[in-house]
Amino acid sequence: MPLAVPAPAISPTNRSGASTATSEPRTVGLVGWDQLHAGVTLPIDPSISVPPLTRVELPVPDPPAVADVEGAARDEVVRVLADAVEDGMSVAVGGGSRGLTGRVELLRGAIAGLRDLGAAPFVVPAMGSHGGATAEGQLATLAKLGMTPDALDCEVRSSMETVVVAHDVRGRPLHLDVHAAGADRVLPVNRVKPHTQFRGPIESGCTKMLVVGFGKQPGAAQFHASGAVVMREQLLEGVDALRAAGRVLGGVASIESPAGDVVAVRALTVDEVGGPSEQALTEEARGLVAALPFAEIDVLVIEEGGKDISGTTLDPNVTGRFWVTGLDDLETPRVAMIVLLGLTAVTAGNATGIGFVDFVPMALAEQIDWEQTYINSFTAGGAGVRRGRMPMVLPDETSCIRAAMQTCGKPFDAAKKVVRIHSTLHLTHCWVSDALLIELPAGARVVDP
């Protein structure tokens, strides 16, 4: 039987469709990665072509942006933490691996505020096992995000060594980075948002950076081994233990809009970290998560993923796929097949969560750093291992999309509901096939190609 050869890749606004030329397979006699490099071809039906796509602006919340992130962080630290800082106090400030908007400005402001109060701050990578679980890799991750000593005007100290500084009410150890453990206090600086692996009153934010990020690989592994139901309690019990041990100065939290603007910068006291104030920030952030406003999507095409986009490369809060025991997938959108086309430069090959995807082009597969991906996935527990599995690898973008269309559960000749987005991080627009144009929600706006 002749096999379909993929057509050249097309842009989201190209309405010309795809070629259906055929050829014989090119992988005879090859195995393993050699076979993938040569290009595995599948018997994709010639009638299946990539549909034309139309850009749609989505109706999303649009709160006003913070005009001066650095100034806001500085002012907040001085206003909220003045009574907690003593002259000469050493403070380990947490820098994370996520792609926060204004991340450099946020850290610079927090550092400047601490110095205004007489403290002696330094920065610690607080990112669990990211960066390949090495001190050098974590420094490199910060640098790729612009958080260098020069940019921050502050020393950065990196180590994967930890010290157990407390135990929670269940006897579980609380690890701290050795440099953070040697400081008088620690100050997490992080974006607040829904988590990708559990649901609770507090998810991603200052508390999680304290319990998981500052805990490096041992702390992150212990936390993620617990499962979705236990995680939320372990997070709160962990921060209680760190507070009781006198390790926490407070926190600096940001919230981002769907457009990627920083819309809130809040400093938290030691009692507010993990308390009602951070819980309120979590609810505020949850209300700003942009969703794909379609009940059913046959094929979701995502142009770019990475650890700076989401801890799982693509955010389950957008795709609807969580695949965690004890945590239900979203009712909408119901996505049949997912295609991921590329990885960000910042992720440096870390493709934790790649198992969420059904098809990837060979160009993406060649970028994956399996050591980083495996360490991070393993540290994330059973769900991380499941999410780290390899999707099908095909020669190019169009092959992946056409294969996803054939396997999405619809007849070959049925109009497919295809959505294309740049990433799951800041979702203000998408491209949709004609089958979805009649299902646009109120407030959505079609943009002419």
In a 3-state reduction of DSSP, which class is residue 94?
strand
Give the model's pLDDT for residue 380: 83
Give the model's pLDDT for residue 220: 86
In this prediction, what percent of the chain has a pLDDT beyond 70? 92
Specify the range with the lowest mean pLDDT, choosing from 6-15, 137-146, 259-268, 338-347: 6-15
Asked whether residue 161 carries a pLDDT value surpassing 50, the answer given is yes
Shortest CA distance to 430 belongs to which of 334, 299, 326, 241? 299
251 within 8 A of 189, measured Cβ to Cβ = yes
Give the model's pLDDT for residue 310: 87
Residue 374: which residues within 8 A CB-CB, separation 6 or more? 388
**What phi and psi, each to the nearest 5 degrees, are found at residue 29?**
85, -10
Task: Tell me the average pLDDT of the chain.
Answer: 89
Give the model's pLDDT for residue 320: 87
The Cα 136–Cα 141 span in angstroms is 9
26: left (phi over 0), alpha (psi -120 to 50) or beta: alpha
The Cα 369–Cα 173 span in angstroms is 31
**What phi and psi, each to the nearest 5 degrees, are found at residue 426?**
-120, 100
In a 3-state reduction of DSSP, which class is residue 364?
helix
When comparing pLDDT for 143 and 4, which is higher? Answer: 143
Asked whether residue 18 carries a pLDDT value surpassing 50, the answer given is no
For the chain, list the domains and their CATH numbers: 3-60+290-447 (no CATH), 69-286 (3.40.50.11440)
435 within 8 A of 53, measured Cβ to Cβ = no
Average pLDDT over residues 209-218: 93
Average pLDDT over residues 110-115: 98
Asked whether residue 379 carries a pLDDT value surpassing 60, the answer given is yes
Specify the range with the lowest mean pLDDT, choosing from 99-103, 145-149, 154-158, 213-217: 99-103
Question: Model confidence over 419-439: pLDDT tens digits?
Answer: 999 999 889 999 999 999 999
Give the model's pLDDT for residue 327: 76
* Predicted confidence band of residue 223 (pLDDT cuts 50, 70, 90): confident
Give the model's pLDDT for residue 449: 58
Asked whether residue 8 carries a pLDDT value surpassing 60, the answer given is no
Q: How many other CB atoms are there within 10 angstroms of residue 24's CB atom?
A: 10
Asked whether residue 356 carries a pLDDT value surpassing 90, the answer given is yes
Asked whether residue 102 carries a pLDDT value surpassing 80, the answer given is yes
* Predicted confidence band of residue 383 (pLDDT cuts 50, 70, 90): confident
Give the model's pLDDT for residue 5: 33
> What does 198-246 look like in DSSP terms, one character per residue?
--SSS-BSHHHIIIIITTHHHHHHHHHTT-HHHHHHHHHHHHHHHHHTT
Shortest CA distance to 441 belongs to which of 286, 291, 256, 335? 291
Give the model's pLDDT for residue 233: 87
* Predicted confidence band of residue 132 (pLDDT cuts 50, 70, 90): confident
Asked whether residue 125 carries a pLDDT value surpassing 90, the answer given is yes
Give the model's pLDDT for residue 26: 56
Characterize the bridge pairing of strands 162-167 and 173-177.
Answer: antiparallel
pTM of structure: 0.80
When comparing pLDDT for 133 and 152, which is higher? Answer: 152
Specify the range with the lowest mean pLDDT, choosing from 2-16, 319-333, 413-427: 2-16
Q: Return the structure tokens found at 216.
A: 């490096």
- How would you write 269-281 as a 3-class SS string? ECCCCCCHHHHHH
Residue 345: which residues within 8 A CB-CB, separation 6 or more? 144
Average pLDDT over residues 29-37: 86
Burial class (CB in 10 A: 0-12, 13-18, 19+), 28: exposed
Q: Return the structure tokens found at 75.
A: 């002012």
287, amino acid identity: G
Give the model's pLDDT for residue 9: 39
Give the model's pLDDT for residue 7: 36
**Which sign does the torsion angle of CA 409, 8, 345, 360 carry?**
positive
127, amino acid identity: M
Q: Which residues pair with 124 in a beta bridge?
A: 94
95 within 8 A of 130, measured Cβ to Cβ = no
Asked whether residue 286 carries a pLDDT value surpassing 60, the answer given is yes
The Cα 165–Cα 219 span in angstroms is 12
The Cα 7–Cα 399 span in angstroms is 7
Asked whether residue 69 carries a pLDDT value surpassing 70, the answer given is yes
Give the model's pLDDT for residue 28: 64
Q: Return the structure tokens found at 407.
A: 């396997």
Asked whether residue 11 carries a pLDDT value surpassing 70, the answer given is no
CA distances from 214 to 103, 328, 348 (A): 17, 29, 21
278 within 8 A of 192, measured Cβ to Cβ = yes
DSSP3 helix / strand / coil % (the chain, rounded to 5): 30, 20, 45
